[in-house]
Chain A
Amino acid sequence: MSALDCQRGRTRKISKWLPSALCAVLLVSAAARADDAAQFTASVDRNEIGLDETVRLDLTLTVASKNDAGDLQVPQFRDFDVVGRSTSEQVSFAINNGAPSFKRTTVTSLTLSPHRAGNLTIEAARVNIRGGTINAQPITVRVLPAGQAAPPRRQGQAQQQQQIDPFAALDPFANHTLDPFAGVHAAKAGDYTLKASVDNDHPFVGQQVTYSLWLLARGSVSSIDKLELPKMDGFWTEEVEAPTQLVGEARVIDGVQMQLFLLRKRALFPLRAGKTTVDPAEVEVVSGMGMLFSRSAVKRSSQSIPLEVQPLPPGAPAGFDPGNVGSWSLSATAEPLSATVGQPVTLHLVATGRGNLRDLQLPKLPAISGLRAYDATTTDKAAIDHGQAGGTRTVEQLLVPERTGELEIPALAMELFDPTAHEYRTLRTQPIHLAVSPGTGAQGGSPQQAQNLLAAGGLRPIRLKLRPASIGAPPWTQPWFWPALVLPPALLLLGLGAVRAQRTLSSDPGQQRVKLAASAARRRLRGAEQLLARQKSGDGKGIEFYAEIARALSGYLGDKQSISVAGLTRDELSLELAARGHSQVTIDKLISLLDACDQARFAPGASSAAAQEAVLQRADAVLAALDGAKEEAA
């Protein structure tokens, strides 16, 4: 075979395969376009039924073009009989950012009756649209013998959502949704029924409650106007789902085919414990299609929903913040882990999970010796995950090492309450070790900067040597202290007193007599006075009186003046007294008095009491004059 033949043969092969390839490309592109523009899904209302029951298969086709009707191809079911079929259609038109948006949703509901018990597969349906084909997924249904199937736990969208949601089993709240249409009957429902529901009517403070607002319609719904949600006083709220287009799902109530629309879904976080009520919502439903004059609007209100918010259980750990309720994880990272002095290190503290992100309190970094910390910045990234509010809170803090060596960012702990587990938990990060080395030094001739800044502060290192301290009451509180303090001066005073007494006792008797002369003379005069008194009463003699006066005067002269009256004449006595400085008048009076006493003693006669009193007064006066003159002379 020549090279030309080979070339021709290759050309023929290409010309033979080219149309087929082009067709394949066109078909794939058409299918891709069909996939882009349309969505086709299949779902069942129950995954487990009895042999004597039916299962409803909903085939939902959503297209974004008026002209794409689509051709639904229902397979021949090997294990099921089709016992009922209905079709509903929902059309919506909206303008988003100035661009018109059209969506047509067609739901074909097939009621299937199983042939046998066991795990049966509902074969995949398909739809041909715009030259392409979209296949729905096959669905497996467990069929139990007749009479053994459990009653349906959930209905409507919740059941559908659980079936198509691979994470629904992880949702702690999924099984708690309270069915808002549990007590609704078709006969009483009317054309439009607005119902609100919560997934938990006994939440803890801070735990999410999902509030949903549903519209159940028997007739057609064109649009929703004036949707007024209740004021959520006492709750922190987050939007979970706010459909911009009405997409209904078929629902059979009492054998009547109806459409169910989700109007709004919100996450509520109760702020305080106690009984509270979510007020009714109001909505205006516009019905009718096409012509404006055929449209009509009706108002509907939902029911109010009582809630009993439980306080957080007792036993909260120290440092627990009431805002930390939910399911969170905590991590800390620093970057870089090796730095030079003065080089910033960024600490990232990240909390991720479910709960009220806005109220979450992350632990604060304590003061770290050797690390200067700057103000932290907080970044929140809210997210809705399977209907649960949550997200990520990131705290970034700039740390600047100020000394060399190994620095440790300690483990940070966050206390939280997990409402799912009904328990408090402590999240801890790992300690982070930074290696800090000296910087490169000064540049451009500038002075050398300190590389190892050793700032004061922080707790001191502990002591390792135990030295017992002496404790006890101080000396001044002891009972012996004050007596011991008073004792020395007391002894001193005692000694002084003793010395003085001793001196007093050992002095000259003559001096004693001199000191006591005046008082001795006065005592004698008082004795004479008593004698005079006895004499007046008839019990005494005048001679004794005068003798006592004479003894008083002579005794005084003897003791005080050292003059012996008995051995002197009156002239000698006068001279002696004059020599001692006494006045002549006093001397004369003394001598006169002595003479009078001698005369009365030695020549007794009648002596009146008055005369004796006069003598006594004269004696007092003379004694006073003598003693006074003596002291003056002294």
Chain B
Amino acid sequence: MTSVSDTHAMGWSKDEPAKVRVPWRQRLQPANLLWLFLAGILAVLIIAPMWTLVVSSFTDAKTGGWTLQNYVEAYGKERHITALTNTLKMGACVVILKLMFGVPLAWACTRTDMPGRNFVRYSVFGAFIMPPYLAGVGWILLAGPNTGWINKIWHAVSGSTEPLVNIFSFGGLVLVTAIGGFFLVFVLVSSAFEMINSEMEDAANILGAGPFKTAMKVTFPLVMPAIIGAALLSFLGAIALYGVPALISIPARYPVVVIQLTEFFSFPLRIEVAAAYSIPLLLITAALLGLQKLILRRKGYVSVSGKGGERRIVKLGRWRWVLFAYCMIVVSLAVIMPLFVLLLAAFSESWTTGFSLSNLTLSNFHYVLFEHSSSQRALMGSIGLGIAAATVAITLALFIAYIVQRKLLPFSSVLAFLAVSPYVVPGIVLAIGFYAAYALPPIALYGTYMIMALAFITRFLPIAFTTSSAGVRSIHPEMEEAVRILGGGRTTALRHVVGPLLKRTLAGGWLLIFVPAAQELSTAIFLVGPTTRVVSVVLLDLSEEGELEKLAALGSVLLIIIVAVVALGMKYLGRDFMLRRS
């Protein structure tokens, strides 16, 4: 040690450790504060509403004391129990139908030489963009017992006065719920089919298995975890969906849980009972997702999560037309037919009189855009909430994902766990939790956009986190270390390297949140106030008023806005950004 200009060098000796520039405690303290800050945000978004939900289900509304009375009231009536069993039955039937729709289409589009594969793919994608309640309205227009177009044609052709099909039935409820969500089965199962390396099938072939045996023994078992996962998610989606039951199950006299929940929320308001009644939904969801994890872990199909190899296309011969016909039936039921009648109704004076030139009008659009004040406000509100929820959720998720992936803070896995935990909370249950926690004094957020924004951020935080996390993981840590060793700090690395590299991923994630957030109904239904209605809620109001033409017009405007945003995203991000698994 010859140079003594540096004080640190002078202080160094063998038994006395050196004092260096950044003491240990100083470095750790801001980190702790940051952790507490993020944990605080997540507590507001997730822990407090869920905790309040559970606590209030055991709270006496009058005395504030501990009670089981809410559970007695929630499950004491036979009608309430029936709604619960009905929901489970409906969920099971929806799953079967969704699999029947989704799995063959996924196979046809990924592994066969069926004609029109891209058309089918885009149509399924259309089913994602169209909110379930709009598909529901389309089907009411098509298959309402008296005025539905299918029945009218049937009456004209057969002379019968009985309806051919009735959408206000158990079957109708199942069909409409299934077409509103089978795209998820399609996406999950197609990506599993795409991951299978043809060499695995070749290995079965070379050992003497024919094409049929190979499909049964190798191909389908390999996509089975994806099918099971899709089935579970479909079930959860079906039992928590609000819009379709609201349109169909009441006239069909088929009570389900979500409708019963709204009853507890109407006058007299019984939040505590609603909380108690929503606990099973929460438990079922958590249990099924746990089950899915267990199944996937035990089977350990590494190949499906592995790198996709070269895929061979199955040559179907003339069977490809049979498969094509089936696919066309599915996409007609799911997208083409309801969308067609919806658009037609939007341009009609009266949808009951059928199609004629004199019936065409733009007055419905004029009404919803310029006359009906709550429609205008709702459009602004939905778009605004979509933008706010997507932006905040992505920003927050990016922050947490970066910290978790780079292991910057101790116990960062707690943050990760919290960020994905809203996944097990159905939207309508989340809304009850937010209502119980924040709607009433002293916080009194009821009737503000704030409470909806918070709930939407929470609802979409899991998507935001998985997207950001995958994005951060794809950036090699050495990319940032290279900045640091050359003299840049962490912020420099974030600004010049991580940010630019994540731009596309984040924009894709933003759109993945914006689209459903702008249409969100389940979470909004209990949180909207008189002046803060969103499009989805106004659409339901219009349906109750019987203003189906105006409803169709407003729904079309919403669809056009969303399609425009998605088209912009495809232009900027490449057309597969939404079909990628998140």
A pairs with B: no
Enumerate chain B interface residues (CB-CB to A < 8 A): none
Enumerate chain A interface residues (CB-CB to B < 8 A): none
